[in-house]
Amino acid sequence: MPSVSVHGMGMTPADLPNPVSSLSSSNAGLLRCRTSSVPENWKLLKAEEVQKSKLLRGASANLAEFIWPQDERPKVPHDDFQGAEELPIIDLGELLQAAVADRAATTDHQHHHQPSSTRRDKIAKDLAKIFSEWGFVQVVNHGVKTEVIDAMQTQAKKFFDLPLEQKEKAKLTQPGGSSTNEGFGYGVDSGFFYVGRPWIDRFQCRWSPVESITELADKVYTREEAHGIDDIDAHDAAEEFRKSMEDYNKSLDKLTIQILELCAEGLGLKSSTFTEPYLGTAGDCIARFNYYPPCPLPSLTLGLGAHTDPNLLTILHQCSVGGLQICHGHGSWFSVKPSANSFIINVGDSFEAWTNGRFKSVKHRAVVNETQSRLSIVYFSNPLPHSIMSVPHKLIDCEHPLEFRPAFTWQDYKTHLLETHKNNNNNNNNNDGVRTSKLWLLRRKSILNQK
């Protein structure tokens, strides 16, 4: 059956594919194994959330590209939290409380007070232990104001509520007129090429310098397009978007530095070990909105396939709808229950290499559901592109021989990733980029490349 372009705009019931007859025989068999409610769920393709996204643009009428191989499909639903493992929690509020207690103890001349340095040391060691065993942590009382988080969630939701044609104005171009090869703007790919097509809509930008955000906001909220957006003037709409992005990401810049300092201290290193390559800047950081509309095939597809993040640290805030799943233990997946006032922070491949494997970069994925859309806001932190990340000598010993490149830059690794993903896409080797990108960081791989 030839592919039919479905643009997700102006579909009528007659335009919708039949969930069984339009599929290939193998995929039709898969759907017949599901409940009789499948035809009803197929009407989700008419849902406003789907039609406003790029999900169906260029998709075949049978949506076969969204159906993942059997061994990749989720077996744990998005909201199955019973019996699931609980993600460890770090409470940064204890650091503030300890500092206040220090001042009070000094004033009152208390002799049995536990100094904040002792509490900080415990939190740092706890964090290092969690990152070495889990690679993920849930952080509460992090110091980011609730109103800053709420404003960012609101702006992200407003963005995805815009008509598709308006969102597509959010594209950055190079001086020559070609789109940037790092994927900034609306509808960008993840960089990984999976064995199936992910059920996701997204927006991504480099948040610093602020001009990067301003350019995209001005393109989206043009005066002729913005008259219907909550009756807000176009300039005000763009300014609200820009300010929310700036406030949110500046807050996460500070949180990142705090986490990196605690990580260093927890490993017995100088506090500034992992922050020095930032040189007092925000580094090479990226902000991303991930939007997952309701899906008629949640048990056959994924919002994002299993992967590890290539960057240093990732900070995630998700809405009240579950969807993040982490692989822990012996390859088992569990769903992370959303918490409105917490951030999920995970170690990326670069940080695992920089710590010589003391910290673990762990596989995770996003699953979808039939009834609720899901929104997550992601902050990817990296040092400046050409700053050198050298494995600290203290992290190399008999029990921990050097496993990764002794030194590398984020630019070197990023260049490799872009080239690898480009080659895999051209060769239709859809899963190779996910499996092999991290290998570049390994010491034995770097030695082979030098020969």
Same domain, 129 and 54: no
Same domain, 51 and 156: no
Query: How many domains are contained in the chain?
Result: 2
- What pLDDT digit, counting tens, does each position of 146-164 carry? 999 999 999 999 999 999 9
In whole angstroms, give the CA distance from residue 389 to residue 236.
41
In whole angstroms, give the CA distance from residue 429 to residue 431.
6
Predicted pLDDT at 451 = 41
Predicted pLDDT at 3 = 32
Same domain, 62 and 130: no
Domain residues for the domain of 63 are: 1-67
Same domain, 392 and 444: yes
Predicted pLDDT at 84 = 66
In the beta sheet, which residues pair with residue 378? Answer: 288, 316
Predicted pLDDT at 190 = 60
Same domain, 15 and 89: no
**Cα 143 to chain centroid, rounded:** 21
Decide if 302 is inside a domain. Answer: yes
Same domain, 82 and 1: no
Same domain, 438 and 303: yes
Same domain, 55 and 126: no
Decide if 402 is inside a domain. Answer: yes
Do the beta carbons of residue 284 and residue 205 sit within 8 Å?
Answer: no
Decide if 34 is inside a domain. Answer: yes
Decide if 288 is inside a domain. Answer: yes
Q: Under 8 Å CB-to-CB from 160, ≥6 apart: which residues?
A: 49, 52, 53, 167, 201, 203, 289, 291, 375
| pLDDT < 50 positions in the chain | 1-39, 113, 174-181, 225-227, 231, 446-448, 450-451
Same domain, 78 and 24: no
Decide if 110 is inside a domain. Answer: no
Same domain, 28 and 90: no
Decide if 157 is inside a domain. Answer: yes
Predicted pLDDT at 51 = 82
Same domain, 149 and 41: no
Predicted pLDDT at 12 = 35
Decide if 112 is inside a domain. Answer: no
Identify the CATH number of the domain in which residue 160 sits: 2.60.120.330
Decide if 22 is inside a domain. Answer: yes
Q: Which of 358, 274, 268, 258 is nearest to 315 (CA)?
A: 258
Predicted pLDDT at 329 = 80
Phi-psi region of 350 (alpha: psi -120 to 50; beta: other; left: phi over 0): alpha
In whole angstroms, give the CA distance from residue 53 to residue 194.
20
In whole angstroms, give the CA distance from residue 379 to residue 249.
8
Predicted pLDDT at 101 = 60
Predicted pLDDT at 282 = 83
Strands (E), 273-404: 286-292, 304-307, 313-318, 324-328, 332-335, 342-347, 364-366, 374-381, 388-390
Same domain, 57 and 149: no
Do the beta carbons of residue 352 and residue 359 sit within 8 Å?
Answer: yes
Predicted pLDDT at 20 = 39
